[in-house]
Structure 1
Amino acid sequence: MVQLSRRQLLVAAGAAAVSLAGCGDGGESTQNQDLSGNREGAMTQYGVGDQFKATAPISFSLLYNNHPNYQLKEDWLFWTELAKRTGVTLEKVAVPLSDYEQKRSVLVGAGDAPFIMPKTYHPQEDAFVSSGAILPVSDYLDLMPNFKDKITKWNLKPEIDTLRQEDGKFYLLPGIHEKPWHDYSLAVRTDILEQLNIPVPATWDEVYTMLKAMKTAYPDSYPFSDRFSKPTPGGNLLNILAKSYGTMGGWDYQHTTWDAGASKFVYTGAMSQYRDMLQYLNKLVTEGLMDPESFTQTDDSARQKLAGGKSFVISSNAQTLVNDYRKDLAATLPNARMTKIVLPIGPAGAINPTSRLENGVMLSKKARESKNFVAMMQFVDWLWYSDAGMEFAKWGIEGTTFTKDASGKRTLASDIDVIGLNPAGTKHLQKDFGFYNGVFAYGGPLELVQSFFSPEEMEFQKVLNARPPIPVAPPHPFSDEEREQVSLWETPLKDYVTQMSLKFILGQRSLGEWDAYVNELKSKNMDSYLNLVNKAHERYQKANG
């Protein structure tokens, strides 16, 4: 008789779990788990649309990402109203945004992690799976009716499956969007466009033409001086430009990209599309159209150049356009006008480059032993995934921080401002009340996501929403041994891609040496990394028929 090792049994069980999950809504049943000792404070009946309210006051520990733009205040209305509605008090372990990921790793590694850990970006959870320190949340989705309902209603199973590990489970509850929401693009001085009689660029080729015309009219300028390059050089620009070329870069760089034509993963930093993107940027720098400091300077430096009329184009999202650039220019160049242009089209065509998954919530494995575990799952489900919870986290309290008319349209209270909606407001929704806080408010129905958008931003989104989303890459979950191996390869590979990308862009290395660069990646185990990724993908495919 053939005997299977514990590892082989786990893998076989995982394959079966994946197959079962493929037939449903992405979650496994809790019916075979004994939760009788973990129901204290939980509601007996809790379903889609129900207001969660603990049967007795309870508290849960939470790792709190303390954003510098709205520092934590214990007297925020958010906390008192949350306790009033749910019976839950959150014991916050506050960590500055700049140290959040490192502190989270230390706490998890030491076994001291709070029960609830939001602001976790996939695949950050992968590092904690093999130790057993975090909960396989997919085992408990029966306790989360709102989450399950939206996965089914919004057909999110393909995206959810990308979170699965080799055991068939997933360990992160992601923020979810009904529709892709893309915010970042370029902001352009439209008064300069009018002066030069240039249309708003619709493609990256037209961006180049625009910058050439600006350089001709203002030869002492760098028309494009960018921000969002710390800690990731070219974080936003490489992200949006790479997607336009059919690859990945900057903030969203991943080691591998799915090649649908070849039905396999390829190494991102060695793709011809990645090379073409670098060549485009090199052309901008070489011809004096882009400030070479764009990839290393602080945001403040980039803003100062824009406000001083030394540049005319910069990376932007909706908030920075209103809160930064327009305010800066109003103080220095009051006749200047600035607009966030629709994401330019590149070789990949007109696409919406954003996933419907957001950063999400990890749960400590210790939470499973809590007498209040079921109540905690119901609470997480209500706050992050119910329509009422998402509205509360974003807008606050109807009649206090906002009003709602008969059509459902929400309006901020007249004395409250956020993202420039009520510039004369003396109070701030985030800073003074704690709502619209990135720890709790992200994702949701399209109507809610767009509810803070100005008419200008709605026009931007209307164009993006009409574009097809980029395809979801298939899963390739690693085994524990594989994950341990790739973790040794990933950092040296990514660091080298980042280092060489900058050299190619800035002309410190000729793109004629591209083949040599690819060979250097191979010497850093690129091919071995790819082999493991494709092997894991094939194994997943086989397990799913």
Structure 2
Amino acid sequence: MADYAIGAQFKATEPITFDMLYSDHTNYPIKNDWLFWQELTKRTNVTITPSVVPASDYNQKRGLVVSAGDPPFIIPKVYAGHEAPFVASGAVLPVSDYLDLMPHFKQKADKWDMWPQLDRQRQEDGKFYILPGMHEKVWQDYSLAVRTDVMQELNLPTPKTWDELHTTLKAMKARYPDAYPFSDRFAVPNPGGNLLNMISTAYGTTGGWGYFNTTWDADTQQFVLTGAMPEYKAMVTYLHTLVAEGLLDPESFTQNDDQAKQKLAAGKTLVISSNAQNLVNDYRPLLKDGATMAKIPFLAGPAGEVTGYTRLESGLMISSKARESENFVALMQFIDWLFYSDAGQEFAKWGVEGVTFTKDAAGKRTLAPDVDFVGLNPGAPKHLQKDFGFQGGNFSYGGSTELLHSMFTTEEQAFQAAIAHKTPIPVPPPAPLTDEEREQATLWDTPLKDFVTQQTLQFILGQRDLGEWDAYVAELNAKNGPALVDLTNKARTRYADQNK
């Protein structure tokens, strides 16, 4: 479109087709007759041809497809760092070179001050290769869900800190001595993925899903070795205490999600990791005999009332082949409209006004009475994802806080309000590596991370005594931990000097 600009509805001047890698979710498997596909083509004159890959195999298959040299033009669901293997080969596009074709992306990046976070995605050449989902504000979805009927039975206040959770779990254990009050999920393939990710933030370090071998220390203005941090030891010690006292199920770090949910259904679990959809879709249908469950606000710890810093989520890579297409400009405009314009984001999330939702004069959206999503219309015969294809993980990324909250239940809105006072931790500075440095760092990084994961579990489960912590740190040092930290800090300094 020659006149494509902010606020414009993108529509290709003639019908075109773009191929796209597609991660197929078991909860809402792809259908060719979804309204999403029909309406997208009607509005944009673009037809998407999906190359469907099961979500369970997506990361592996994506790597194979891109490395083979002939990937689809659009490659979604890519997290920061996943693009690195494809940069040196030239398989994916340096999308930051083409932002002038994407007015909505640039508008949101400017308006929401996203550039410090986008800069962290830049490679050593100063360019970034992922178009990420961008949120207006930090969004903390994951927390802990607790059996509120048991809390009421024991007259327990809602814990606000990890120390208060310890007290809560001890009271639950005293009442139900034959159960582990806390048995967690999200352990496969990353042991303790969500639990360690949450608690590490509260302790001022990283862990689980968010683990990096180097963590930014805002006080010293240096990257430090994560697994050797005093804060990391304090976190591990806390979790070890929970396990030793029979408050945290040791299988929390190895069991699959189905096993964790079975324990909840049998009444053997009173606390479990959760996001908003887990609570409504996974847990409440399992509860029996008047049992109730709710998410508690994100717990504070020694680091204070903080949350994570990131306002980015997974995003898109574009195949380098696309640059050679006569429809390249249309492709970038199309992506800009669908993923970054207000209208495109509303469409991907809510669907079609008058069919899947209505909107009042004040702009408030309401799902159609016969459509359900996360329990907003329980018992409705149709489902927004399963029957229409909207709110899917391949297309619905980021957006304004108003749009994000618009599909929350009243309960989830209250949860977000309860944690709105928390402060995001500082954004770490960029430290992009050269190709040669990246190759060296990979040789150090993966074995070191695997070792930290292994030893962390041993300490938590009591298989290794915490009195051996100093010996463990010496082992980290022998596995090139300090060399990796030094390499990262040199890269940070170099980037800062080159971008003054």
| TM-score, structure 1 normalization | 0.91
Report the equivalent of 2:440. 485
Report the equivalent of 2:51. 93
Is structure 2 residue 495 aligned with structure 1 residue 540? yes
Out of 23, 30, 35, the residue aligned to residue 65 of structure 1 is 23
Superposed, 1:185-264 pairs within 5 Å as 185-264=143-222
8 Å contact from structure 2 (residues 101, 329) kept in 1: yes
Report the equivalent of 1:335. 290
Is structure 2 residue 93 aligned with structure 1 residue 138? no
Report the equivalent of 1:401. 356
Q: Distance in 2 between matches of 1:442 and 1:426?
A: 26
Single out whichever of 461-470 and 368-377 deviates more from structure 2.
461-470
Cα deviations across residues 281-312 of structure 1 (Å, max 9, x unaligned)?
A: 00000000111111111111111211211121
Structure 2 gap ranges (5+): none
- What letter corresponds to residue 67 of structure 2 in structure 1? G
1:335 aligned counterpart, secondary structure: coil
2:470 aligned counterpart, secondary structure: helix
8 Å contact from structure 1 (residues 181, 354) kept in 2: no
Report the equivalent of 1:350. 305
- What letter corresponds to residue 81 of structure 2 in structure 1? P
1:150 aligned counterpart, secondary structure: helix
CA RMSD, Structure 1 to Structure 2 (Å): 0.9
Report the equivalent of 2:245. 287
Q: Distance in 2 between matches of 1:221 and 1:100?
A: 37
Cα deviations across residues 29-63 of structure 1 (Å, max 9, x unaligned)?
A: xxxxxxxxxxxxxx011101100000000011101
Cα deviations across residues 401-424 of structure 1 (Å, max 9, x unaligned)?
A: 000011111011101111111111
Q: CA deviation at 1:326?
A: 1.0
Report sequence identity in percent: 63
8 Å contact from structure 1 (residues 180, 465) kept in 2: no
Q: CA deviation at 1:530?
A: 0.9
Cα deviations across residues 108-156 of structure 1 (Å, max 9, x unaligned)?
A: 1110111110100001111111111110101000000000000011111
- What letter corresponds to residue 182 of structure 2 in structure 1? F
- What letter corresponds to residue 378 of structure 1 in structure 2? Q
Task: Give the ranges of 4+ consecutive aligned residues of structure 1 lying more than 3 Å apart after TM superposition.
Answer: none
- What letter corresponds to residue 348 of structure 2 in structure 1? A
Q: Distance in 1 between matches of 2:473 and 2:400?
A: 43
8 Å contact from structure 2 (residues 202, 307) kept in 1: no
1:360 aligned counterpart, secondary structure: strand
Q: Distance in 2 between matches of 1:223 and 1:305?
A: 10
Q: CA deviation at 1:464?
A: 2.1
Q: Distance in 1 between matches of 2:144 and 2:202?
A: 13
Summarize the Cα distance change of 1:450–1:354 in structure 2 as closer, same or farther, 3 Å threshold.
farther
Q: Distance in 2 between matches of 1:73 and 1:100?
A: 18
Q: Distance in 1 between matches of 2:67 and 2:130?
A: 17
Q: Distance in 2 between matches of 1:292 and 1:269?
A: 21
Q: Distance in 2 between matches of 1:325 and 1:98?
A: 22
Single out whichever of 295-304 and 137-146 deviates more from structure 2.
295-304
Q: Distance in 1 between matches of 2:358 and 2:421?
A: 30
Report the equivalent of 2:111. 153
Q: Distance in 2 between matches of 1:85 and 1:176?
A: 23
Is structure 2 residue 4 aligned with structure 1 residue 46? yes
8 Å contact from structure 2 (residues 201, 307) kept in 1: no
Report the equivalent of 1:127. 85
Report the equivalent of 1:23. none
Structure 1 gap ranges (5+): 1-42
Q: Distance in 2 between matches of 1:468 and 1:337?
A: 30
Is structure 2 residue 373 aligned with structure 1 residue 418? yes
- What letter corresponds to residue 91 of structure 1 in structure 2? T
Superposed, 1:435-454 pairs within 5 Å as 435-454=390-409
1:465 aligned counterpart, secondary structure: coil
8 Å contact from structure 1 (residues 136, 169) kept in 2: yes
8 Å contact from structure 2 (residues 96, 128) kept in 1: yes
Report the equivalent of 1:13. none
Q: CA deviation at 1:64?
A: 0.4
2:91 aligned counterpart, secondary structure: coil
Is structure 2 residue 74 aligned with structure 1 residue 116? yes
Report the equivalent of 1:297. 255
1:93 aligned counterpart, secondary structure: strand
Q: Distance in 1 between matches of 2:95 and 2:68?
A: 21
1:462 aligned counterpart, secondary structure: helix
Q: How many residues align?
A: 500
Cα deviations across residues 263-284 of structure 1 (Å, max 9, x unaligned)?
A: 1101111111111111100000
Q: Distance in 2 between matches of 1:353 and 1:111?
A: 36
Q: CA deviation at 1:334?
A: 2.5
8 Å contact from structure 1 (residues 54, 375) kept in 2: yes
Single out whichever of 348-357 and 211-220 deviates more from structure 2.
348-357
8 Å contact from structure 2 (residues 309, 426) kept in 1: no
Summarize the Cα distance change of 1:286–1:471 in structure 2 as closer, same or farther, 3 Å threshold.
same
Is structure 2 residue 351 aligned with structure 1 residue 434? no
8 Å contact from structure 2 (residues 309, 427) kept in 1: no
Q: Distance in 2 between matches of 1:269 and 1:45?
A: 53
Report the equivalent of 2:270. 312
Q: Distance in 1 between matches of 2:473 and 2:51?
A: 44
Out of 467, 483, 486, the residue aligned to residue 422 of structure 2 is 467
| TM-score, structure 2 normalization | 0.99
- What letter corresponds to residue 376 of structure 2 in structure 1? L
Q: CA deviation at 1:213?
A: 0.7
Q: CA deviation at 1:354?
A: 4.7
- What letter corresponds to residue 363 of structure 2 in structure 1? G
8 Å contact from structure 2 (residues 218, 426) kept in 1: no
Single out whichever of 116-125 and 511-520 deviates more from structure 2.
511-520
